[in-house]
């Protein structure tokens, strides 16, 4: 209670300052009353009330007029029309009392007013109590709404909502859509079915959540967001630039190393991920009906990104990016890539050149791949052009030097007229 009173006084300190100044002025006037009255003791009128005469001089008029004006203006400024009317009426009533009473008794009225003010000031009025309860209810509602919106954002990313031109989740309705150029990333844990084979469901969920707790912040750090969780995989969108997605994958690889080190201590097997990345136009929007909607991205770009991720298993590499993504880079020489193959997109006649993206150039395998990258790409181009006679000798030469380079093994098996469809 004392703390609340102190806080209330602190909030109203300017009112008390004004009151203190007024008290000082009143005290000075009271002390030098005789001198002041002699200067302003000008008889204004005499009032006859119930047979008695009461004199009203200029001093009393000035004092009461000043107080009435100050009080009315203050009530009008801080309290509004209702307070202004109430104070006006109350002061008119006090003027009537002044007319009836002598000046000495009028001081008693003022002291009574001060006492009543102090009593009322430190007691909450019914109106204030009602406003406080309403304010608390409103604050609690706002807090609950913020929590609800925060919870919804965990299911529908706010970045997705903004991309389709909406401000908040309540603005969404079935059929909302917008076309944007996006970089789409699919990433998947390798051999996860085998990993989870001898584990209970809770262990699997705990592991996946621990993995996603590492990956999610990295994606956000590089201006992306996770659009969907795909069991042991994710689909992430990068609306700003393709460079963001590549930098993200590089950091994900580093974090995965530390993640595996921590799990090794607990006896958990090491995991690897495969990633496919593509840049292209996509339609973002909502599907469903009035009772149930879902956000989604529909485009060939999504399909191709997913296929690139699947091809990392075929070629035995960690990350594959499309030619369109490389062409969209503003800084092409910042990242290490090598031509991997040209494939036909499944379900279409469209051909697409794909590239291996080196997520960690510090490993011995990556260093050797970068060392003979020109010879490798020469052989791959021969293979793409069906010039297998020129391609096979180069592949044979390289595989003897670098037997751990799995794409070399793949291309030696692939050097035949059949084309790979994805």
**Would you tell me how many other CB atoms lie within 10 Å of the CB of residue 61?**
14
How would DSSP label each residue in 116-158? HHHHHHTS--HHHHHHHHHHHHHHHHHHHHHHHHHHHHHHS-H
Whether 83 shows a pLDDT value over 90: the answer reads no
Angle between helix 406-414 and 300-315 (nearest 10): 100
Report H helices in 41-125: 58-74, 80-100, 103-121
More confident site: 364 or 378: 378
Model pTM? 0.66
Whether 156 shows a pLDDT value over 60: the answer reads yes
Name the average pLDDT for the chain: 77
Residue 165: both structure tokens together = 């031109």
More confident site: 64 or 412: 412
pLDDT for the residue numbered 103? 45
Instruction: Using alpha carbons, select from 291, 295, 379 the residue that is nearest to residue 340.
Output: 379
Could you give the residue range(s) of every CATH 3.30.70.1230 domain in the chain?
Answer: 174-360
pLDDT category, 247, cuts 50, 70, 90?
very high
More confident site: 135 or 198: 135
Per-residue pLDDT averaged across 120-136, rounded?
70
Q: Mean pLDDT check: name the lowest of 8-12, 81-85, 129-133.
A: 81-85
pLDDT for the residue numbered 101? 47
Q: Mean pLDDT check: name the lowest of 121-130, 221-230, 258-267.
A: 121-130
CA pair distance 127, 129, nearest whole angstrom: 5
Q: Which residues pair with 228 in a beta bridge?
A: 235
Q: Which residues pair with 341 in a beta bridge?
A: 354
Helix, strand, coil fractions of the chain, as percent rounded to 5: 60, 20, 20
Report H helices in 222-338: 242-265, 300-315, 323-328
CA pair distance 79, 253, nearest whole angstrom: 64
CATH code at 174-360: 3.30.70.1230
Look-up of token digits 């954002």: 153
Phi then psi dihedrals of residue 32, to 5 deg: -100, 30
Whether 352 shows a pLDDT value over 60: the answer reads yes
More confident site: 304 or 154: 304
Instruction: Quote the DSSP letter at residue 295.
Output: E
Instruction: Using alpha carbons, select from 369, 361, 272, 372 the residue that is nearest to residue 312.
Output: 272
Per-residue pLDDT averaged across 126-136, rounded?
75
Q: What end-to-end distance do the CA atoms of the chain give, in Å?
A: 74
pLDDT for the residue numbered 79? 60
The sign of the dihedral angle between the CA atoms of 120, 123, 128, 129 is negative
pLDDT digits (tens, 9 = 90+) for 184-228: 999 998 877 777 777 788 888 888 888 888 888 999 999 998 888
Whether 421 shows a pLDDT value over 50: the answer reads no
How would DSSP label each residue in 147-214? HHHHHHHHHS-HHHHHHTT-SSGGG--TT-EEEEEEEEEEEEETTHHHHHTTS-HHHHHHHHHHHHHH
More confident site: 28 or 417: 28
More confident site: 104 or 391: 391
CA pair distance 60, 44, nearest whole angstrom: 10
**Would you tell me how many other CB atoms lie within 10 Å of the CB of residue 270?**
12
CA pair distance 161, 170, nearest whole angstrom: 10
pLDDT for the residue numbered 183? 93
Q: Please report, for the chain, how many H helices and E strands are present, in that order.
A: 17, 10
Check if the beta carbon of residue 381 is closer than 8 Å to that of residue 301: no
Percent of the chain with pLDDT over 90: 18
Percent of the chain with pLDDT over 70: 67
CA pair distance 378, 411, nearest whole angstrom: 12
CA distances from 52 to 25, 44, 46 (A): 32, 17, 10
pLDDT category, 50, cuts 50, 70, 90?
low
CA pair distance 287, 283, nearest whole angstrom: 12
Residue 76: both structure tokens together = 């009008």
Look-up of token digits 């690897």: 272
pLDDT for the residue numbered 119? 60
Check if the beta carbon of residue 356 is closer than 8 Å to that of residue 319: yes
């Amino acid at each position: 209670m004392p703390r609340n009173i102190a806080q209330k006084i602190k909030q109203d300190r300017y009112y008390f300052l004004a009151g203190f100044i007024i008290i000082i002025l009143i005290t000075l006037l009271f002390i030098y009353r005789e001198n002041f009255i002699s200067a302003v003791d000008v008889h204004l009128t005499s009032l006859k009330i119930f047979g008695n005469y009461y004199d009203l001089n200029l001093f009393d008029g000035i004092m009461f007029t000043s107080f009435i004006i100050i009080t009315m203006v203050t009530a009008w400024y801080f309290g509004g029309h209702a307070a202004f009317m109430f104070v006006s009426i109350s002061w008119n009533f006090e003027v009537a009392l002044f007319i009836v009473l002598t000046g000495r008794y009028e001081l008693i009225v003022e002291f009574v007013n001060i006492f009543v003010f102090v009593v009322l000031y430190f007691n909450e009025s019914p109106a204030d109590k009602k406003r406080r309860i309403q304010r608390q209810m409103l604050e609690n509602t706002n807090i609950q709404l913020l929590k609800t919106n925060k919870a919804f954002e965990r299911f529908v990313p706010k970045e997705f909502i903004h991309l389709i031109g909406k401000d908040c989740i309540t603005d969404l309705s079935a059929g909302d859509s917008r076309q944007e150029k996006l970089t789409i990333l699919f990433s998947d844990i390798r051999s996860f079915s085998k990993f989870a084979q001898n584990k209970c469901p809770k262990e699997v969920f705990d592991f996946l959540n621990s993995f996603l707790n590492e990956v999610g912040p990295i994606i956000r750090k590089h201006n992306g967001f996770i659009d969907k969780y795909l069991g042991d995989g994710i689909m992430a969108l990068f609306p700003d630039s393709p460079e963001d997605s590549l930098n993200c994958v590089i950091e994900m690889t580093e974090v995965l190393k530390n993640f595996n080190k921590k799990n090794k201590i607990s006896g958990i097997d090491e995991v690897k991920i495969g990633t496919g990345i593509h840049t292209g136009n996509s339609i973002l929007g909502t599907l469903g009906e009035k009772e149930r909607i879902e956000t989604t991205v529909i485009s060939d770009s999504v399909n191709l990104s997913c296929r690139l991720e699947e091809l990392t298993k075929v070629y035995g590499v960690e990350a594959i990016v499309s030619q369109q993504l490389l062409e969209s880079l503003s800084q092409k020489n910042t990242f290490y890539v090598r031509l991997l193959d040209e494939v036909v997109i499944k379900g279409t006649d469209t051909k697409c050149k794909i590239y291996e993206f080196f997520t960690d150039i510090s490993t011995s395998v990556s260093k050797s791949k970068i060392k003979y990258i020109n010879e490798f790409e020469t052989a791959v181009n021969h293979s793409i052009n069906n010039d297998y006679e020129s391609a096979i000798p180069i592949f044979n030469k390289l595989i003897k030097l670098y037997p751990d380079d799995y794409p070399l093994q793949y291309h030696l098996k692939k050097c035949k007229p059949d084309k790979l469809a994805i």
